[in-house]
Structure 1
Amino acid sequence: MTHRIAIIGASGYTGAELLRLIATHPEMEVAALAANSKVGQQMAQVFPHLRHMDLPPLVTWEEIDFDGIDLCFCALPHKTSQEVISKLPRGLKIVDLSADFRLTDTGAYERWYGNPHAAAEMQQEAVYGLTEFYREEIRAARLVAGTGCNAATGQFALRPLIAGGVIGLDDIILDLKCGVSGAGRSLKENLLHAELSEGTNAYGVGGTHRHLGEFDQEFSKLAGREVRVQFTPHLLPMNRGILATVYVSGDPAAVHAALSEAYAAEPFLQVLPMGEMPSTHHVRGSNFCHVGVSGDRVSGRTIVIAALDNLTKGSSGQAVQNANLMLGVEETAGLMLAPCFP
């Protein structure tokens, strides 16, 4: 069975990544594409690497006839996304890639994103889109909220450890490096080649990064008590990839065992042999996440390192994985592409 798909916000990096994945999906067909800033253009003009695909022209989202559309991916910025989604047909299945429906507490959303939630009533039906941990809820959902790419990486490293009670909860340190595509396609001075290349910098320092809202929500829910991690992201002059280094108190063997058990049956989560470390090179362009564990020279301390592609497993690949569940399609459909190396 072929499912007809619409993408709103198709001219951004996550929109292009959705199309790259759908190109080899056995049960998805792109029926409509919207991108207000590129209206009237063909995708071959916006993204020449997709010129081999037979795709509809870009229109405004208001021009899309949603009759016959089975699912819509919404790849818009936060704030804009909730305003658009609130106007879409009520029966339409939606996977939102923005931050707008990730936080169940709309007050927390306002604190982290600086504006009141414009579709608070819809927040109540949204399911958090970390597929491996909300699979059954996603399968039955109408609206799924994709996670932040940084938030997904940190959670893959930590959720089984918090749930299993094998680490201390009051001294978790998460140091993360992210490629520049995580900041989106909009022009920003600090992302110009001359400003970014040959250097790196921390941002969101001191507990100001918005993905902390997701960590607070998800880790505290898991633990049944407040959990606040120390989190510092860094911007690296690479196009794709996230590498998260997590420092925890706990026995390395117990940590490795908890992760191995949690992900033993997961097609996209690969726990490496003890002491082997992942690289962003090894997951580039794929829906895989690699997780490594090492002991530290300080007794009772453990280092967990997770790597994924921010545009694939961290965003658009996750979105397709969730859409597969929502549509009753094999979860791995369109997503078993091998990583691109070198």
Structure 2
Amino acid sequence: MKKIKVGIVGGSGYTGIELLRLLTQHPSAEIVTITSRGEAGTRVEDMYPSLRGRVDLVFQDPKEAPLKECDVVFFATPHGVAMSMAEELTQNGVKVIDLAADFRLKDTEEFKKWYKMEHTCPDILKKAVYGQPETMRDKMKDAMVLGMAGCYPTSIQLGLLPLLELHKKVGNIVDIKQTIIADSKSGISGAGRKAAVNLLCAEATDNFKAYGVGGHRHSPEIVQQLSEFAGEKVSLTFIPHLLPTIRGIFSTIYVQLTEKGMEQDFQKLYEQRYANEPFVDVMSKGALPETRMVRGSNYVRIALYRKEPNLLVILVVEDNLVKGSSGQAVQAMNILFGLPETTGLEQIALAP
């Protein structure tokens, strides 16, 4: 079988190393080049000894890397990089999978507001597809550019998808006038691989805090997709927190139900909706998901609770670097090239 020639732009960060870990185990992928402006000339195994014997590559400057010879290029870069290179790559038939936010938000003014930069290729943005397999699979298949879902958004969207789909279908399941509350926590790696005081071990260990309470740039992305699921504008209160762990996202979602909603069997609804989704596990009634249940894997695990007749509590866990980022991007690559979605992604979560 012909190998998929893969390029990675921005390979020195956590999502880049996670792409390498996953793609080196992928039977149909051949990593042709990996770039890093700051580490150009450095052997990958010297920076990441965990890949010794598995990756025989040297970081290249993006200007010198043979990206146009690839079938697909992943961007594990800061916001703004992918859109500066997407036009040239797509004109040469190269598919683009962006792990940053350049192609997530359809409204360029919203993008400018939250990311403090102009969108430089709005024409490509119009054709780009939001990269979330469980919700956008059919549209993703023929896309040239995918803007992959963020880590927090993935947990919240998959946590609410069956509920909001039912609301759109039969109406009046959720009290949309009452804001949905997403209380979400992320491991420190979600902030990226950078030198910052608030991410130092002495600052983040043995500590727990909220951030972005006044507004977080994942909020418009989440609302954009939830509103599409529901068929109407969804009101959301999203509060992120920083966990003193390396990996993992835990979202606890609170939804006010209508009288009609209180009549529904949500356990059955979720089990049926995700029955054929290989990476979404609806846990049995009474189960409590933990972040270690998904560590290092591409799985999302969901549990449902009815605390009161009109209050549904949804618990969602994922690994922010895998299903929340690089793993989901590899899943997207599988879709683009007609492979089984599970290819190269069946790693079992690490325990303990």
Bin the TM-score by the shorter chain: over 0.9
Residue in 2 aligned with 1:161?
Answer: 163
1:300 to 288, 306, 310: 310
The answer on 1:225 being equivalent to 2:232 is yes
Matched with 1:137 is 139
Aligned to 1:146: 148
Per-residue CA distance 1:246-272 (angstroms, 9 max, x = gap): 111233962222211110110000001
Query: What is the RMSD computed on CA atoms of the aligned residues?
Result: 1.4
Q: CA contact under 8 A between 1:14 and 1:75: conserved in structure 2?
A: yes
Mapped to 2, the partners of 1:214 and 1:294 lie a distance apart of 26
| 1:223-268 deviation digits (Å, cap 9, x = unpaired) | 2221121110100110000000011123396222221111011000
**Residues 199-238 of structure 1 mapped to structure 2, 5 A cutoff:** 199-206=207-214, 208-238=215-245
The answer to whether 1:176 aligns with 2:177 is: no
Runs (5+) with no aligned partner, structure 2? 168-172
Q: Is the 1:177–1:244 contact (alpha carbons within 8 Å) kept by the matching residues of 2?
A: yes
Deviations 1:49-76 (A, max 9, x none): 1112133211011112235411111111
Tell me, yes or no, if the aligned pair for 1:3 and 1:27 is still in contact at 8 Å. Answer: yes
Asked whether the equivalents of residues 97 and 315 of structure 1 are also in contact (C-alpha less than 8 Å), the reply is: yes
Corresponding residue for residue 170 of structure 2: none
Q: Does 1:3 align with 2:4?
A: yes
Alignment match of 2:270 (pick from 252, 259, 265):
259
Change (3 A) 1:281 1:252: farther
Using the alignment, how far apart are the partners of 1:252 and 1:187 within structure 2?
51
Residue 161 of structure 1 aligns to a residue in which SS?
helix
Give how far 1:23 is off.
1.6
- 1:330 aligns to 2:331 (yes or no): no
In the alignment, is the contact (CA less than 8 A) between 2:89 and 2:95 conserved in 1? no
Could you report, residue by residue, the CA deviation over 1:280-323 in whole angstroms, capped at 9, with x for unpaired residues? 01000000000001110x33211110000000000000000000
1:156 is displaced (CA, Å) by: 0.8
8 Å CA contact retained: 2:7, 2:33: yes
1:78 aligned partner: 79
2:284 to 261, 265, 273: 273
1:285 equivalent in structure 2: 296
Q: Is the 8 A contact 1:178 1:234 kept in 2?
A: yes
Q: 4+ runs of 1 displaced by more than 4 Å?
A: none
Structure 1, residues 182-229: CA drift from partner, whole Å, max 9, x if none? 0000111100011111111101103x1111011121112222221121
- Whole-angstrom CA distance in 2 between matches of 1:292 and 1:116: 40
Q: Could you say what secondary structure the match of 1:233 adopts?
A: strand
1:175 maps to a residue whose letter is D
Cα deviation, residue 333, structure 1: 0.4
Alignment of 1:21-170 (within 5 A): 21-90=22-91, 91-165=93-167, 166-169=173-176, 170=178
Percent identity of equivalent pairs:
38
> Mind listing any 5+ residue stretches in structure 1 that lack a counterpart?
none
The residue aligned with 1:14 is: 15
Amino acid at match of 2:351: F
The total of aligned residue pairs comes to: 340
Q: Secondary structure at the match of 2:89?
A: coil
Residue type of the partner of 1:61?
P
Q: Is the 8 A contact 1:240 1:310 kept in 2?
A: yes
| TM-score normalised by L of structure 2 | 0.94
